[in-house]
Amino acid sequence: MFNWLKFITGSVIFDRDVKQASQRKFWNVLFFLFMLLILLSCFFAIGYNFAFKYHYKQSPEYIKAYSYAMKQVSDEDPSFGFNCKINKNELVCFENDSIDEKDSGKLYLDTRTQDPSLVADLDYEIIIDTRDRDTLIDYTATYVSKTDKTHTITHIDYLQLSSEERKDFKFSTIEYSQNSLDQNTYLGYANVYFNALAEDSKEKAEYEKLKTDVDKINYFTKVALPDVVNDYDSAPILMSYYSAEFLKTNSKKEFGYEHDRYILLLKDSLVTAFVTKHNVFVYFEGTYRKVADNFRFHDKNSLTMTQAKFNRHIQDFVMSVYDDIGSTQILNYAINIFTYMPFLIIIIAALALFMFLLTRISNDDYADGKYIGCFKIVSACLLGASLATGILGFILTFFLNQGVAFAISMSLLISLLVLRVLLLSLISFIKKKRENKKATLNEESSSEKMELL
C-alpha cells in the first residue's frame, strides 16, 4: 500500500514514478480517470461557489435592481404599489398593503412595459410574476401555404379551414405572449372542432371524457395543432414564454443572449442573469427552498432601513436562492466533465501510440515494449495535469463566466497532458539514443583493442 501511494504521489511530478505504471495493473487507469473526475469537479464547483459571492458583491447595478423590485411600496405612501413575501417556498404578492391571498397569482411588475422615465436609471429588466408556471398563455402560430410561400395564416384562421384545406398548409413559427389564455374562447374552438368529427371518432370520445377546461384545451391542441405543443407536452404555458424570451440567443449581443441583465421572479423560482463591473456574465436559476419562510421583501421595519442594511436583506435572499443550486454544482461539473471522457480517452490512446513508436525506435524498455504499457503511463500523467488544471480552473472562475472558465480549463487539461507526455517521451528517447550511441562506441573500441592484441 505504501509503495502504491508513493507511486501515486510521485507520478504527479517525477518521470521515474510515472513510468512504474506500465508494470502495474490496468485498474490504475480507471483510478486516474476517476481522480480526474473528482478533482476537477470539486475544484471547479468550490471555486465557482466562492466566485459567485465575489461576483455578486462586484455588481452594484444588480443589487440596485433588487432594491427597486423589493421596495415597490412607496416610502411616502405605503398604500401604493404591491408587496411580496416567500410563503411555503412560493412567491406571493399582494396589492398595496393587503395580505389577501386572492390578490396573488398574476403579473405584478414588468419594467419593460413601465414608463421609461421611471426606470431610466435601471440597467436591468425586472419581472415579478406569481402565476403558476403551467398557466396557459396566449400565442400566435403561423402556417404557410405549401404552394405559395408568401401566403401565411394564423392558427385561428387555420382552424377555420376544412380538414382537406388544412393539408395545403404547414406549420411555420410560433410567438408566445405573456398574457393568460382566454380559455372560454379556446373551449369554443375545441367544441366546434370536435363536433365536426364523426360521432364514432376516437378523438371525440376521448375529448368528451375530460373534466377540466385545461385538460380539454391541452387535448384539443395536441389533436388540432400538434406543432404548437411544447416540451412540456401541453399547449403553450407561461414557462414557454419566459424560456423563449430570456434564453433567446443573439450572436450580435455581447454575451450571445438577447437579454443578459434581468431578474425574473416567478412563483416557484428565481431566474436571473447579471454582469459584474468587471464585465463577467453570470446566470443562475434556483428555487426558494432555502429562503426563510415568510421572508418579506419589505415591511414597516425594512422601509426605514438604511440602504446598506437593506442591501444585506437583499443579499440574504439572493444567497439563499443560490444555495439551492450551490450544492449541485459538483454534480453539474461531473456530468459535463464526463462528456469529455471519450475525447480524452482518444487523446490518451494517440499519445500512447506516439510514446510506443518512440520506444520501438530507441529500443527503450520502460514500457516493457508494449502499447498497453504506454497507455498506462500516459493515464498516470493525468493526475498531475488534473491537479494543475483544477487549481487554474478555481482561479479562472473569479475572472471569467462559468462556461468560458470551464472550456478554457478543459483545454488546459489536454494541453498539460500532451506537454507532459511529449516531454517524458522525448527526454527518454534522447537519453536512450545517447546510451545506444555510447554503447556502440564502447563496443567498437573494445573490438579495436581485441584486434591490436
Domain spans of the chain, in order of start: 2-53+329-447, 62-128+277-326, 137-236
- 107-110 sheet: strands from edge to edge: 107-110, 125-129, 262-266, 269-275, 281-287
CA distance 351 to 364: 16
Q: What is the pLDDT of residues 180-189, one digit of tens each?
A: 999 999 999 8
Res. 311: pLDDT tops 50: yes
Q: Where are the beta strands (DSSP E) in 229-292?
A: 262-266, 269-275, 281-287
Question: For residue 241, what pLDDT is reported?
Answer: 92
- Best CA proximity match to 352, nearest among 29, 6, 27: 29
Dihedral sign from CA coordinates of 87, 92, 96, 98: negative
Residue 452 has pLDDT above 50, yes or no: no
What does the pLDDT average to over 21-25?
A: 71
Q: How does pLDDT run across 3-18, given as a tens digit for each residue?
A: 655 555 665 666 566 6
Digit-coded pLDDT (tens) for 145-185: 998 888 999 999 998 888 888 889 999 999 999 999 999 99
Average pLDDT (341-349) is 91
Residues 6+ away with beta carbon under 8 Å from 57: none
128, β-bridge pairs: 109, 265
The tally of CA atoms less than 13 A away on the side-chain side of residue 386 is 25
> Residues 74-99: what's their mean pLDDT?
70
Give the count of beta carbons closer than 10 Å to the beta carbon of residue 149.
9
For strands 137-145 and 107-110, give the pairing.
Answer: unpaired
Residues 82, 75: Cα–Cα separation, whole Å: 12
pLDDT tens digits for range 354-378: 888 887 777 777 777 678 888 888 8
All three cell numbers of 233: 407536452
pLDDT of residue 118: 76
Residue whose grid cell is 489536454: 414
Average pLDDT, the chain: 84
Q: How many residues does the chain have?
A: 453
Instruction: Taking residues 311-315, report their average pLDDT.
Output: 89
pTM of the model: 0.81
Q: What is the pLDDT of residues 190-247, one digit of tens each?
A: 988 888 887 777 888 888 888 899 999 999 999 889 999 877 788 999 998 999 889 8
Can you read off the three cell numbers belonging to residue 404?
A: 468560458
CA 164, CA 158: separation in Å to the nearest integer? 11
pLDDT (0 to 100) of residue 79: 46
Look at residue 49 in the predicted model and tell me its pLDDT.
92
> What gap in Å lies between CA 282 and CA 58, rounded to an integer?
11
Chain-centre distance of CA 210, in angstroms? 38
Does the pLDDT of residue 53 top 50, yes or no? Answer: yes
Q: What are phi and psi of 384, to 5 degrees?
A: -65, -40
Which pLDDT does position 436 carry in this prediction?
64
- Mean pLDDT within 70-93: 71
Percentage of the chain exceeding pLDDT 70: 84
**In the block, which residue shows the cell 391542441?**
221
Give every CB contact of residue 342 below 8 A, 6+ residues apart in sequence.
Answer: none
